[in-house]
């Protein structure tokens, strides 16, 4: 579920959902605003998958939290 396999496509994996979220992040944004931008994408599916993908991105160091704002990592 986290990574694609021969049975799980990249779009269905959490890494694929994370990529969709990163594409939706053009600047610093709150979780609510990011959800509103990304929720229409069919690959995200549900708020639960959205949050799991955010957790994965944070764990991988791809995003940072600054107060209530999520930004792409500056590395």
Please report whether residue 26 resides in a domain.
yes
State residue 13's pLDDT score.
82
- pLDDT by position in tens, the chain (length 75): 677 677 777 777 889 899 999 988 888 899 999 999 888 888 888 899 999 999 999 999 999 998 999 999 986
Place of tokens 């949050």: 51
Global pTM exceeds 0.85: yes
Asked, for residue 51, whether it belongs to a domain, the answer is: yes
Domain residues for the domain of 46 are: 14-72
DSSP state, residue 60: H
pLDDT at site 1: 65
Judge whether 2 lies within some domain. Answer: no
* Domain-embedded: residue 67: yes
Q: What angle do CA 44, 45, 51 make, to 5 degrees?
A: 60
Please tell me the total count of domains within the chain.
1
Query: What secondary structure does DSSP assign to 12-57, as a single string?
Result: TSHHHHHHHHHHH-SS-EEHHHHHHHHTT-TTT-SHHHHHHHHHHH
Q: Read off the CATH number of the domain in which 44 is found.
A: 1.10.10
Position 24 in a domain: yes
Does residue 32 belong to any structural domain of this protein? yes
Q: Which residues, in sequence order, are CB contacts of 40 under 8 Å at separation 6+? A: none
* pLDDT at residue 24, rounded to an integer: 87
């Amino acid at each position: 579920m986290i990574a694609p396999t021969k049975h799980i496509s990249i779009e269905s994996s959490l890494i694929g959902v994370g990529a969709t979220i990163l594409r939706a992040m053009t600047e610093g944004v709150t979780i609510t605003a990011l959800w509103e931008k990304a929720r229409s994408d069919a690959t995200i599916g549900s708020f639960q998958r959205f949050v799991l993908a955010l957790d994965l991105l944070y764990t991988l160091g791809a995003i940072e939290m600054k107060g209530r704002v999520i930004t792409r990592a500056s590395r």
